[in-house]
Amino acid sequence: MEHPVADPLGAGRILLTGAGGQLGAALREAFPEADARTRAELDVTQPISLGYTPSLVLHAAAWTDVDGAEADEGGALRANVEGTRKVAALGAPVVYYSSDYVFDGEKREPYVESDEPNPRSVYGRTKLEGEGEVREGWIVRSSWLFGWTGHNFVRTMLRLGEERDEARVVDDQRGSPTYVGHLAAATREVLELPQGVWHVAADGEATWAEFAVAIFEEAEVDCRVVPISTEELGRPAPRPAYSVLRSGRQDAPQLPHWREGLRECLARLGA
């Protein structure tokens, strides 16, 4: 899949799937010219009929409920694998947004594109299988996404900070919290690069507990963070203990530090 492609922004229509999600909302702003479809408007698990052939598909539609996937593997497969297959069949280059969860977390240094995936969860496996459905386009792996809409860690912490004096947060998982606004903007840079796999995540790294402390500090919320282990949290899906992503490829987009993304996100939320 490593080959140049004609300018996908030069002519034709761009299709954006999953426009109702947090990444989709950011992509709508970064690509205002796109035909942006929410799940209600375009369910990728169903036959797709557009009435036109897109020049590019920004494929943000996905099953993102990591724990829910453990209980409904069929649903995750339909969304992440079969849905991607239907999108790829439209015949246009695809930007497929993948995840750090395709790795097992056994490394203690950042994962680069040449590292062998080894997902531990149903969600991670279906995202990796979805990558395999992309025959023409770019696979953009990112991590720990957060934004001003949807269900994400920043919004959850702000809600907890209003409701209680302390929050128990996992401190044995480490990654790169990535602001969807920065990822969406970097997608335009990705489109100027050769097709293939690209790691695009925020600079810096943190545990969830460290991220929570920063959220409360930046938002000036008086809430104490109590570090706990993944085992104590007791979630159904296994998580990679270390999933920091970096690119080992020349010319990869460089995103700002996650703390800068956090500040931008909080400004959007009015926090």
Radius of gyration of the chain (CA): 18
What is the rounded CA–CA span in Å between residue 41 and residue 18? 9
Largest CA distance in the chain: 55
DSSP bridge partners of 146: 179
Asked whether the beta carbons of 127 and 100 are under 8 A apart, the reply is no
Asked whether the beta carbons of 211 and 153 are under 8 A apart, the reply is yes
Selection from 198, 191, 93, 58 nearest residue 142 by Cα: 198
In angstroms, how far is the first alpha carbon of the chain from the final one?
A: 43
Q: Which of 96, 101, 123, 242 is catalytic?
A: 123
Asked whether the beta carbons of 39 and 78 are under 8 A apart, the reply is no
What is the rounded CA–CA span in Å between residue 93 and residue 58? 9
Is residue 123 annotated as a catalytic residue, yes or no? yes
**Tokens representing residue 18 in the block:** 């999953």
Cα–Cα distances in angstroms (integers) from residue 243 to residues 1, 110, 157, 175, 204, in the given order: 25, 7, 21, 5, 12
Indicate the Cα dihedral angle 257, 230, 184, 8, nearest 10°. Answer: 120
Active-site amino acid positions? 123
